[in-house]
Structure 1
């Protein structure tokens, strides 16, 4: 897969991050072959807390 960033260093960082995610997925399936995907509600909670309309994680005070 391709990764990208604002410069080459960030692209390499994203590639390493993607490799770590793939490693975690591999280990999860190795330990439990019946492991399923996270529920959509759990994925939404973690995504929306940073990127949603009422985001509260990692947001700077831009007022």
Structure 2
């Protein structure tokens, strides 16, 4: 997680106009691994 935060910080420092990830995409990514119908990774 720290590496992801570092990459986000660097990306923002290069381009402050970057938008946040869409909540639909973020939820889809989380739920595919951790949701009740998980289909990726460990359950």
Per the normalisation by structure 1, the TM-score is 0.58
CA-atom RMSD, angstroms?
A: 1.5
Greater relative contact order (CA < 8 Å, ≥ 6 in sequence): 2
1:37 equivalent among 5, 20, 29:
20
Shift >4 Å, 4+ stretches: none
| 1:56 corresponds to which of 6, 15, 39 | 39
Gaps in structure 1 of 5+ consecutive residues: 1-16
Aligned residue number for residue 46 of structure 1:
29
Q: Output the TM-score relative to the length of structure 2.
A: 0.77
Equivalent pairs, count: 43
Higher Cα radius of gyration:
1
- Residue ranges of structure 2 left out of the alignment (5+ in a row): none
